[in-house]
Amino acid sequence: MKNTHNSRKGFTLIEMIGVLAIIGILASVVAPRVIESIRDAKVTSAISSVNAAKTAVLNYYQRYDRIPFDGDLTTYSNNRPGADGTAPANESGNADTLGHILYYQELLMEEIKTPIGEAEEGALDFAVGCVATSGSGACDAGGGSATYAANNLFFKSAGNATRVAYYYIPKLTKQEAAALGTKVNGPFPVTVQGEDSIIAESTIGGSVPGNISGANCWFSAEASDGTHDAYLYVAHQ
């Protein structure tokens, strides 16, 4: 009689290798798109944060009939609490910003941070600021160092305003900066292709052919670690 107890069914080694190869091919195709979708969602969320700041600034303006310069504000940063109830060490001595008032005093904003970009302890930080559009006005809130108008940083939506509120996001990766620039400043001409070209079109003081003269999102030149700081238009007076 035939012994059926010893017969076993299963995958052969070749079949298993074939399945793994197919999984690997699918992963190589799908994974980049998943990563891109996640990054795109984060950039969209960052733009929502900028829009929330705009709403907060407009509410403040309706209440007080002005948008205050950062330098006009009294000291709040040294007294505001950190996560443990004490003032963060890197906040000591920092200049106060419009964002401080909107977040810590007026409670018109829920947060001053986006899912893209990265704060650097003791130096760069997320911020909402207000700068003069002429003279020596500088977008230096949060550690930024861009000078408005003097080095081609000119927000398209600000027009002939005397002061403009902006959102500063430090240390964006090249992919984040390109995605943000595309969503805020795009669409670009067909001649602008690739992440470097998109960023170059909106780089402060840029000299590339076709560099736009007015944008609502500007980037600093590439840092040694490959990142860019971003300055986005919020509102103006």
pLDDT digits (tens, 9 = 90+) for 206-221: 767 667 777 899 999 9
pLDDT of residue 72: 67
**pLDDT at residue 80 in the model:** 43
**Domain annotation covers residue 59:** yes
Q: What is the pLDDT of residues 121-167, one digit of tens each?
A: 666 788 999 998 877 788 988 888 898 887 778 899 998 889 999 99
Residue identified by tokens 């992963």 is 27
Q: Is residue 5 part of a domain?
A: no
pLDDT at 123: 65
Domain membership flag for residue 137: yes
Alpha helices in 111-214, H assignment, sequence order: 174-185, 195-201
pLDDT at 92: 41
Of 107, 77, 101, nearest to 89 by C-alpha is 77
Q: Which residues of the chain have pLDDT under 50?
A: 75-95
Q: Which domain holds residue 152?
A: 13-236
AA letter at 49: S
pLDDT for 229 equals 95
SS3 percent helix, strand, coil of the chain, rounded to 5, is: 40, 15, 45
pLDDT of the residue at 1: 53
Count of structural domains within the chain: 1
Any bridge partners for residue 148, and if so which? 153
Q: Is residue 8 part of a domain?
A: no
* Phi, psi of 108, rounded to the nearest 5 degrees: -90, -10
Helical ranges in 147-210 per DSSP H: 174-185, 195-201
pLDDT score at 16: 77
